[in-house]
Amino acid sequence: MINSPASFETILESVNTLSPVELAILQERIAHSRQKPMPVAKKTAERNVFDIAYDDYLKFSDAEREALQWRVYQQHQARYEKELKSRRAQWMVVCGGKIIAFSKALDDFPSRKKLEELGKAHKAIPFVFVPKPLIEESTWSNLGEEDFYPTLR
């Protein structure tokens, strides 16, 4: 079978041969194909992101979920940074705008499965916050042969 683009006239001729049932199916498919999924920005723009139900969040594409997680992290990092510091926490999970879990150790950082469980249990999207990394400036001593070692003053 050779695939070649059909002319508009050929398509019309084919459509004219369809039964009423087939024509209805075609019309439904055309209508459905014209419906564009609403991007996550529009889905969440009208309401507080912490009010989005976890079940609705699961309907987002992976790219939409990742974009939402990053946007929320950037927008709310300063707010939750204070909570992280006051609790001396290495990570914190927020659902529905409330802190539901945190730890002073990274050893028990929640797995994807645990985050799914928390989202289902709280019926809200679990957002993970971690402290901003501490960047220390130091000089590097050349030990020779492209080997360097950080040196503190």
pLDDT value at residue 1: 44
Give whole-number Cα distances, 24 to 30, 31, 34, 78, in Å. Answer: 10, 11, 16, 54
Half-sphere exposure (CA, 13 Å, Cβ side) for 51? 6
Partnered with residue 18 across adjacent β-strands are none
Tracing tokens 């969440």 back to the chain, one arrives at: 44
- Name the stretches of the chain with pLDDT < 50: 1, 46
Task: Give start and end residues of each alpha helix (H) in the chain.
Answer: 8-16, 20-34, 40-45, 54-58, 62-87, 112-122
DSSP 87-129: HT-SEEEEETTEEEEEES-GGGPPPHHHHHHHHHHHTS-EEEE
Q: Quick one: pLDDT at residue 153?
A: 60
Inter-CA distances, 118 with 51, 78, 103, 110, 115, Å: 15, 23, 15, 10, 5
β-bridge mates for residue 65, sequence order: none
Q: What is the Rg, in whole angstroms, of the alpha carbon atoms belonging to the chain? A: 26
**pLDDT score recorded for residue 113:** 96
Q: What's the pTM?
A: 0.59
